Amino acid sequence: MRSTVPLGIRCIQAFTRDSWYRGFTLVLTFLFYTSYHLSRKPISIVKSELHKNCSAIAGHGNKSHLDNDTWCDWAPFDKPNYKMLFGALDNSFLIAYAIGMFFSGMFGERLPLRYYLTVGMLLSGLFTALFGLGFYWQIHSIWYYVLIQIANGLVQTTGWPAVVACVGNWFGKGKRGLIMGIWNSHTSVGNILGSLIAGSFVSYAWGLSFIVPGGIIAAMGIVCFFFLIEYPEDVGCTSPQHHDQTEQEPLLRQDSEDEIFTSLNNDEGSSNPIFNNIQPSAISFVGALKIPGVVEFSLALLFAKLVSYTFLFWLPLYISSVAHLNPKAAGDLSTLFDVGGIVGGILAGIISDYTGGRATTCWVMLIVAAPMLFLYNYIGKNGLATIIGMLIFCGALVNGPYALITTAVAADLGTHKSLKGNAKALSTVTAIIDGTGSIGAALGPLLAGVLSDWNNVFYMLITSDLLACLLLSRLVYKEIKGWCGSQPRTRGFKEI
């Protein structure tokens, strides 16, 4: 008598070959971008070690330094202008990242993504490690660290357009919000792991807080070279369906399709590859801007990312200052903001998939986030339980819209019907949206370093959330109008 097929094998057989490859690509790109964010996080953890309250240390038996409150600080961050120096480090990275992002998408469309990501991750590992080696080489020049941050900001732009384009190549629109909401948790997972890894070394050898993450992202670059598959067709899998023929998006209407390629010669007719689906050329920067919704979502992301990155770079120092915790404890506690970000990103994806309202979902979360940020600053220091609860809740509201715009919205716009099947636009659209958002990411930490009071920092964050809502208002109106029209969009989940 022969036994039945084992349950485990039956579970494997339940998934098609296409499904296995899609899952493999999703996991692989998740790990890649986790390593990108993991390597960005150490600077926020190390700040409170580079400049800390040395008098408290001197009070534990070190009498020779009692008159010097900065004897234990790392020069040049031992001066009264240390906040401005920290701001310079943040903005060296973020401004270089913002500028580089606008060009990165165009390079990503014209180069093989596997090679592009591999080189980017190897160089990111190198520059992250070089920052940490400043500890062992006893480098105290601010210019060394600024130049390393600039170089790292430029090479880190290779990550986002490439991974979003790769996932967009493999997954259709059906449950894109849910899938990308879960997948986008790599940002928060990377921040959490980066905080924990950096926090493990920060108190006795902060150089390792950079060297270890640098080694991890470089190792992932090698994995990318050997395993990443850019297109389903490369391994004989079927391409996903990016559009439902009966579906009509409220804010991406058919009547705007002809606007995208008005710069092309009309007499080319069907011979143009964009309209024939034969070897489509990469879209121009201006052509990508003409896609309906790109400008509004890009500008909204500028303010949403300003809020998110201010927390990314300054939250551990804020917690350390107001809750009087040591650098490691503050860094560990700050990871709860990213835990909330994971929940918020997934919820935003589920809600936007079910309702079909990407802009409306973002608008509601942003408008609720504004008073919650005020409340966090007011009561967020009153006990550990309050801090934990507010960090998780604010993290969900702040990172939910940010995650949705940079993933599902970018993929929707990059595969918009008006592109007539030109999938090469995905990387450029992603780069435009995230590049514009990165301007806000640079401004937030800079202004946080300039503002002298934490209350003013939170007022800036609240204002940014409200401005993001204002920029999305037109798209929200169109979505609501589409739902209330004579032929509303079919709601609910669709198959991939």
Given a cut of 60, whether residue 273 has pLDDT beyond it is no
Q: What mean pLDDT value characterizes the chain? A: 79
Q: Report the range of poorest mean pLDDT among 7-16, 145-154, 484-493.
A: 484-493
- Give the separation between CA 4 and CA 20, rounded to whole angstroms: 23
CA distances from 338 to 334, 349, 381, 391, 399 (A): 8, 16, 18, 8, 8
Which of the two residues, 206 and 410, has the higher pLDDT score? 206
Angle at 47 between CA 60 and CA 187, to 5 degrees: 130
Higher pLDDT, 105 or 282: 105
pLDDT at 83 exceeding the cut of 70: yes
Whether the CB-CB separation of 304 and 401 falls below 8 Å is answered with yes
Query: Is the whole model's pTM more than 0.75, yes or no?
Result: no
Averaged over 167-179, what is the pLDDT?
71
Could you tell me the two tokens for 13? 């057989």
Collect all residues with Cβ–Cβ distance below 8 Å to 13 and sequence separation of at least 6.
5
Question: In this predicted model, which residue has the larger pLDDT, 247 or 95?
Answer: 95
pLDDT tens-digit series, residues 357-380: 888 999 999 999 999 999 988 887
d(CA 409, CA 362): 10
Name the more confident of 459 and 383: 459
DSSP 141: -
CA end-to-end span of the chain, whole Å? 41
Token output for 170? 């493999």
Confidence band of 219 (pLDDT split at 50, 70, 90) = very high
Rank 10-14, 141-145, 215-219, 377-381 by mean pLDDT and report only the highest. 215-219
pLDDT-derived band at 241 (thresholds 50, 70, 90) equals low
